[in-house]
A and B are shown apart, each in its own frame.
Chain A
Amino acid sequence: MTLTKIMRNLQTELSGEITDKFLEALLYGMKMSFDMSGGYRLNIENFRGRYVFRSADGFVNAAADFDRGDMKVYDSVLEEWNVRVTFKDARALRKFLFSRDQDILNSLLANDVEVEGNLNYLYKFGYMARELLLRLGVM
């Protein structure tokens, strides 16, 4: 998939009707941006962290593995992780990560998302995801 296509998908997922491809678009968008932008890659230069995302119905499974400047994306869960996010549906995950008026706490309040592990990893992920959208002009 080309960067242009990924970004177009991401833009669609963020601004229009959300589908179960949202997470895939976000993670691959991040990966390609890390590969292509040295400035963005600074975020993970000295960072190691494993993230697991899954929907409550088991339909969506994904993982991201950051390892000192490198990011790998998996379409399955990893056994070892720093933080694991279980979300009700793709819409809940989008709201959790990006909604301007809500944030991590608000989604937890609404019971849309369950987080296990070290929350600080999620805060960092939230920063990187928002920076990606700002760089792409979709936020």
Chain B
Amino acid sequence: MPEITLKDISLKDYGLSERISHLKKIYFRAVPEICTERAHLVTRFHLENGLFEADRISILDKAKAYRYVLRHRNPVVSHAQGVDREMKQFTFTDRQLFAGSTTTKFKGVPLYPEFLSLTLWPELQTIAKRKSNPFHITPSEASVLNFEVFPHWMEHTIMELGRKKSFAMNPPSAVKKEAPEIKLLQRMVFFLASKPECISHTIPDFSKAMKIGLRGIIEEATHLGNHAQDPSRQEFYEAVREVLEGMIEYSRNLSTQAEKLAEKEPDQVRKRELIKMAAITARVPEFPAQTFREGLTTVWICWTAIHLENPNIGLSLGRLDQLLYDLYRNDVESGAMSIEEAIELLCCLWLKIGDHVPAVPEASEQLFGGTGSNQAITLGGVDADGGDAVNDLTYVMLRATELMKLRDPNLNARYFSGVNSKDYLRRLCEVNLNTGATPALHNDLAVIRTLRSKGDAIEHARDYGVVGCVEPGSNGRSYAHTAAILYNLVSPLELTLFNGRHRHTGLDLCIGTETGDPETFTTFDQFKAAFERQIRWMVDRSVCLNNLYGEIHQEFYPTPILSSLFEGPLLKGRDLTRGGATINSSGATIIGLADVADSLSAIEKHVFNDKAITFAQLIEALKKDFVGFEPLNALLRNPDKTPKYGNENRAADHNAAWITRVLDQAFNEKLNYRGGRYRVGYWTMTNHAGFGRLMGALPNGRKAGENLASGITPVSGATPYLTKALNSVAGLPVSCLSSGVALNLKYSPENGPEMLDNFAATVEGYFDDNGGQRDGGMEIQFNIVTHDTLVEAALHPERHPELLVRVSGYTAYFKDLNPQMQKEIIDRTEYLLSTGRMVTFAPYAIPERRQS
């Protein structure tokens, strides 16, 4: 257990340095700029080497392509210009302490034409003028993409390759036609499969790069390759050597560039900084890191290389406070580095980590609006032996986060009650109060329990880090693609209510499986059985499609860079896409749990138990969106008259738990294309708003088009008491939530130290397993902001450019969210911690001009 040597764990005497204030100001001034460099270089290599004609692409060919990109990419040491909101260029003096960048731009949008970048094609000439989250692009860059990049990929994107591969899933009479699963995907209301966009969601293993350097890994790969008999293994090791040499080359190029800049630099302070950057990038990541700064540089250079290969969505950095602690401690103890310098270095790195945003086409903003790259960092918790892992660096990283208040990195903190200190928990709550939205808190007891239930070794479960939004995965050894399937739970309910039909796709078309007319059901169990069949039908379809796209990744997009920096592939001699990792699960996340659970409860009570309404009446009301059925709607929405999940109502909570068990069982029965099993999570990003827009009225009283509840959170406004809400969620079986949950709570800011006390006490209470009587809550995240502030920010975004909020998993700047998503956050249940009661307010109405 590391000794905490800090006199004040809040480190409140340390503020933003002048350098960081300067860089942060530029950071918020700059809008994202599309960068064509990666896309252009990858395309050129594919053209020059005939890869567009290949019927598969070997890992060695892929490795050569990435080495080519690493060699030819611009080694950016300092940026000189950005673009502001008026799309005008501005110049600035860059005083960053880390060389290298994800793109050539100060804040760039990297493009991956292999994946979904072609969706931006229609927008290239107008993307700088779009209302939501515009990207700058020059006419020449648009021309490069239009003529030299995108045309070559029209037959080679994952989506298209998957479509063609799906022809074989049809009977021979229907050749050259997409499989029905693809048509379901295109309908949008059933599930989304994210492999055409990326796999990414995972945590690399940086420890080897830190300890033995990339040169050490190359030597290991050479040794293993020399002793491998299997040609595919030999090829794998050669690919590893190829990409690692490319990364070393890139770092050397950075070093050379830093030297050149230093020679010309008139400012002596900056000159010395550049000389130091040159020296560091000449050493690492090729050789072991010897100082804290070298350790951070190793992480950063490896991170940029990983992003060359893997789209910038959900790649996460893991437990950096554990990885870097020894280097930090040595430097501080030897006097080589002060705490102030450590905080400044971390702030510089945090800004670097946020130097890119994903390329999101305009309408996708409605499903994923305002998202950053969701690069999670995990702090605290326990070590492999179950001891307290919180160290001085944990607090230094918390302070850097508190000062910066950035969207990326997405900070997550682990807490093990009884092992980690109460002071640590209070500090986590305090940072939440001061940032309004971060870090998310994870309960080690429950998370380790759920990972163990899926077969993870105890030391691996204890070493979990958070991936993307909230998903737990063993640090550097779990290649889990936690967001492989986004499963809209409202659709199987819809298919049950309408006997295999869906209002969105038309009630004359049986698109699901027929499970009987619900008007003929005489018991609630009959209804549940039909619902379970529809759930399983959709699970089958979504898994089938995910596995199909997974095979495309294996055949065309192996990942030599990520495989080099991971536990498992080197030992097995196998790429990650082919099961090289130690843990090979896939993840599905469920959207709509609370609304569907409440719908089941409403049906159980009013149709079957009380017989207050018939199924025919309910269906009629749903079809008419409750118009003419206002009293019924009021009855269904009233938590005093209709059981609601989140109120410690036994029947309602039982229905929610039953759904999680059915989904866990249905998914866990399935094998993925890497031989692993599917795990289930409940975090929704902004999809509860996106899917909500598409879905009709529900038996819980929700009207058509209204937002669904987020993550695992009860329906907004249905749970007046905070403690009851927390107890209901904490009573769910965590073994069924193994791909993570997001419980989104909103607290009113209150004056006085009592708020912090109450805050910490509620977290403790929620995490508690009550002596084994329940599992305890897994995760909780907060927005600490008033309803009025959010309404004001929605109406006047220019006054709140840095307002940070938790969506359902990731953090976002409120101004970047689409109107539907803003409404969802504004209308979320808000509690006063001092009373534990819900604050009442009228639902927010989106102004007419802002609707989309």
Contact = CB atoms under 8 A, between A and B. Distances in A.
Partners in one complex: yes
Interface of A: 42-43, 46-47, 97, 100-106, 108-109, 111, 114-116, 118-121, 123-124, 126-127, 129-131, 134, 139
Given A46-B151, A47-B151, A130-B125, A123 B188 contact: no
A115 B504 CA distance: 16
Nearest to B130: A100
Nearest to B156: A120
Contact of B118 (A105, A106, A116, A123): A123
Nearest to B153: A120
Given A119-B160, A130-B125, A131-B125, A104 B119 contact: yes
Interface centre among A97, A101, A121, A123, by most chain B C-beta atoms within 10 angstroms, is: A123
Contacts of B157: 120
A129 B122 CA distance: 8
Contacts of A102: 362-363, 852
B178 A120 contact: no
Contacts of A97: 122
B850 to A, nearest CB: 11
Interface centre among B122, B125, B150, B363, by most chain A C-beta atoms within 10 angstroms, is: B122
Nearest to A105: B363
A119 B123 contact: no
A21 B362 CA distance: 27
Contact of A124 (B121, B186, B188, B361): B121
Interface string B114-132: 0000110111111001110
B504 A111 contact: yes
A133 to B, nearest CB: 10
A124 B160 contact: no
B154 A127 contact: no
B146 interface: yes
The 6 closest A-B pairs by CB, nearest first: A126-B122, A106-B363, A123-B121, A105-B363, A120-B154, A103-B363
B200 to A, nearest CB: 20
Nearest to A119: B159
Contacts of B186: 108, 114-115
Contact of B119 (A43, A101, A105, A118): A105
A127 B147 CA distance: 11
Interface residues of B, number: 36
A134 B139 CA distance: 13
A115 B187 CA distance: 10
10 contacts: A97-B122, A102-B852, A103-B361, A104-B122, A106-B366, A109-B693, A115-B186, A120-B154, A123-B150, A124-B151
A103 B122 contact: yes
Contacts of A123: 118-119, 121-122, 150
Given A103-B361, A118-B163, A130-B126, A109 B188 contact: yes
Given A108-B188, A120-B118, A123-B119, 6 more contacts: A100-B126, A120-B150, A120-B157, A121-B154, A126-B122, A129-B122
Please classify the interface of chain A as helix (H, G, I), strand (E, B), loop, or mixed, using the class held by over half of its residues: helix
A120 B146 contact: no
B263 interface: no
A111 B123 CA distance: 21
A40 B361 CA distance: 24
Interface in B145-172: 146-147, 150-151, 153-155, 157, 159-160, 163
Contacts of A111: 187, 504-505
A138 B597 CA distance: 50
Nearest to B186: A108
Given A103-B123, A127-B122, A109 B147 contact: no
B761 interface: no
B110 to A, nearest CB: 18
B126 A105 contact: no
Interface string B135-146: 000000000001
B702 to A, nearest CB: 19
Contacts of A101: 130-131, 362, 852
B822 to A, nearest CB: 16
Contacts of A47: 151
Interface string B660-699: 0000000000000000000000000000000001100000
Interface string B543-578: 000000000000000000000000000000000000
A126 B122 CA distance: 5
B695 to A, nearest CB: 11
A116 B180 CA distance: 12
A94 to B, nearest CB: 14
A43 B504 CA distance: 37
Given A103-B362, A108-B188, A109-B363, A130 B122 contact: yes
B364 interface: yes
A106 B820 CA distance: 14
A127 B157 CA distance: 18
B154 A118 contact: yes
A83 B186 CA distance: 14
Contacts of B125: 127, 130-131, 134
A109 B150 CA distance: 25
Contacts of A139: 126
Nearest to B364: A105
